[in-house]
């Protein structure tokens, strides 16, 4: 399937996942794969009044539906965007300083992160500037909600 990417959840969050169960008599826990299929899309970030707007657009209807379902299920969780180049994380913007609202569009979704506080708004818009620079430089970006990747772009 060319419209999805395999992502390792533990690599996206920077945490070591200890899945599985601990075998009897063993000192090491069993590691289980922590992979998820993530819809590939076109991502656009832009500043707006009070914060920023992230728009994810999928050309493939199946990938679009999958992304919309993920966004619906994970709405309300912490929203973050990670940018990677050559397999290394360049930046990760955790949008904890604002309220993020998810809206569905005909071909994807739109996440608006805003704050009424001037300092928080400035931080959100600073994240927007950083993300735009990373995307312009060719980074792969992945938006997560509640730690679950919901869309990725190249």
Each residue's pLDDT tens digit, 92-130: 999 999 999 999 999 999 999 999 999 999 999 999 999
- Give the pLDDT band of residue 21 (cuts 50, 70, 90): very low
User: Could you tell me the residue ranges of all domains in the chain?
Assistant: 37-146
Question: Looking up tokens 């994810």, which residue turns up?
Answer: 56
Which residues pair with residue 95 across a beta bridge? Answer: none
pLDDT computed for residue 140 by the predictor: 92
Is pTM beyond 0.95? Reply is no
Question: Looking up tokens 């707006």, which residue turns up?
Answer: 48
Residues whose CB falls within 8 Å of the CB of residue 15, separated by 6 or more in sequence, listed in order: none
Pairing of strands 35-39, 4-8: antiparallel
The answer to whether 141 and 149 have CB atoms below 8 angstroms apart is no
């Amino acid at each position: 399937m060319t419209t999805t990417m395999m992502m390792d959840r533990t690599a996206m969050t920077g945490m070591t996942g200890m899945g599985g169960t601990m075998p009897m008599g063993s000192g090491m826990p069993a590691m289980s794969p922590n992979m998820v299929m993530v819809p590939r899309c076109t991502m656009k970030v832009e500043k707006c009044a009070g914060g920023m707007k992230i728009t994810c657009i999928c050309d493939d209807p199946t990938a679009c539906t999958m992304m919309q379902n993920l966004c619906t299920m994970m709405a309300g969780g912490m929203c973050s965007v990670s940018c990677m180049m050559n397999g290394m994380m360049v930046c990760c913007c955790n949008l904890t300083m604002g309220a993020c609202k998810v809206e569905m569009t005909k071909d994807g979704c739109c996440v608006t992160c805003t704050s009424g506080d001037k300092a928080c708004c400035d931080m959100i818009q600073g994240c927007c500037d950083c993300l735009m620079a990373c995307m312009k430089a060719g980074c792969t970006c992945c938006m997560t909600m509640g730690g679950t990747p919901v869309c990725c772009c190249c």
